[in-house]
Chain A
Amino acid sequence: MKNQNKFAGQVVGLIKTLAIPVAVYLLFGILSGGRMFNSRAMITVLRQTIQPSIICYALLLGMSIGMMNFSAGAFVTCAAIMGNGLSNLLGWGLPGLVFFAIVVSLACSAIMGLLYNWLRVPCMVLSLGLMLFFESLPRFFFPGGAVISTQDAFLARQPWCFVVMALVMVLFYIIYNKTPYGHNIRAIGANQSVALAAGLNLDKIKFTNFIVGGFFLGVAAVLYMSAQGKVQNVSALGSMAVMMDGFMGVFLGMLLARWSDPSIAVFCGVLTMKILANGFVAVGLESTWKDVVTGLFMLVIMAISENATLPAKRKADRLFAAQANAERAG
């Protein structure tokens, strides 16, 4: 009975999680005259959701414990260029790209983690500085950027991209829910003071957090390289564009995580943003409007999220006030 209730709760939670992306999809499907109501359009949106979602997983891990990492995009471009470049130099093809992209991303993350613990600078500030550094780093070794051959770029195409997404989603679920590390970051996210008092080593956990996030960013770099075909060096915060899809989706994902596991919630958050973006193309509106609507959409969602408990709190306050007045009158 207890298991049945738990299962029913999970199903209800999943339905609530899917409600927003489905609602947005229905809206744009209707506005586009039914053009989005076909399997090809849905698969296209799902495919476009994958790489930002993986970046989002990395961002979520940090934001769970109050660390906002603006250099995620720089990690992705750095890992993509250097990973592909090293692989091409050694003639290792796709396996080389996967290996070196993840290693480079881990190295970047380790550097950031070590600096974070050593300098005690807020993560946001540190990430802004390192973003410029890691944007520039590949230029020294591969000034022309990186190019991948068509036959090695299949991971960004279906069905392989979905296989990768499924594996990453399962991995994230396991890490977040079934490992001590996942337990610890949830504990820190809930109440850092209590976690510290309980004896958790915050420095170690935060450093691990960077490393785990770095792994996901390395995988994202492989998909990014495969999808782009050619990745050029960026500068002056140009890498922000790489992570922006994920960045917007992570906030929505954190809201949806109230009803389902973050591995699903994050994906649904990014999916919603992608449906929004694609919907504007289908409807024929310019990206300027898309940017305005996306911003307003996020504001509304976050306002609802942050104030969701307000009505219940006010009701409870009114009840308490009524009781207090009654006792006083009595």
Chain B
Amino acid sequence: MRIRWIGVSVLVAVVAVVWAASIQGQAPAAAPAAARQAQPAARQATPAAAPARQATGLARAEDGHPNLNGIWQAMNSANYDVEAHNAKPGSHPELMGAWGAEPGGMGIVEGGTIPYKPEALKKKQDNFKNRMLVKVTNDPHRFDTGDTELQCFRPGVPRANYMPFPFQIFQNRDQILMVYEYKGAMRTVFMDKHQEAPVDSWMGWSNGRWEGDTLVIDVTGFNGHQWLDRAGNFFSDTAHVVERWTPRGRDHMMYEATIEDPAVYTRPWKVSFPVYRRLEANAQLLEFNCVPFVEEMMYTPLGLYNPPNRSSR
């Protein structure tokens, strides 16, 4: 009983804040339906949206918007480094050889370089040096650590979209659900009831809208622990990410994310890359529940990991 309370208390802290906010957030929901319905029409009339609206050959949902349902995946090496990078040996070449080596890549950053403030660039470089640092504590120091992916933490946005795992989009008129194979991380995109992020989180709070055939998602409410890749690129809890998902045919979309964070960057900057539909007839997300994969690494230094087959009994 005690154990469960310990675990639950953390959740409760989150839920408590969320409840408070969700209660406040219910007020806008009462806005007149007519006003809400008027918004998409107004957006479609914007010059930027007009050309995209004419795209043909797209699968469409019953409401006329592009139908993004399906399993998608990016095909790039940005998860190693979002900037252009050479192929190189991995962190433990003495053990991992070519298995652990990292492919080169052209990068996905528009203009090539992330516009860090000087002190933030220093932190990025420190991050890289400490990328395999694991610090398991029962206080907030557990987040003074290396890459979150190493410890099976949620990847945040936009990183989740270019990790080397498929993800699945489930689309409704009022909500869009995105489920990522990595960790089974999920996010709900609210298309109708927009609200300010009620609480900070790993995956952020997503408010979505259609601009012509482009799904635009405003993501805020990050907790500031997100890394963008294994190279130490990062943003803070003041980050604001605007994603643009634009289908270019039935089986691929262009993805763009503008990242704004005055605490870290001198100006907003952008990543872009295509995502492709997984066309295998039997394509399906499988579980990648990585918690059991990281327990030995995380808990051995504390003397807390000892699988039964290693005990003396």
* A and B found bound together: no
Residues of B within 8 A of A (CB): none
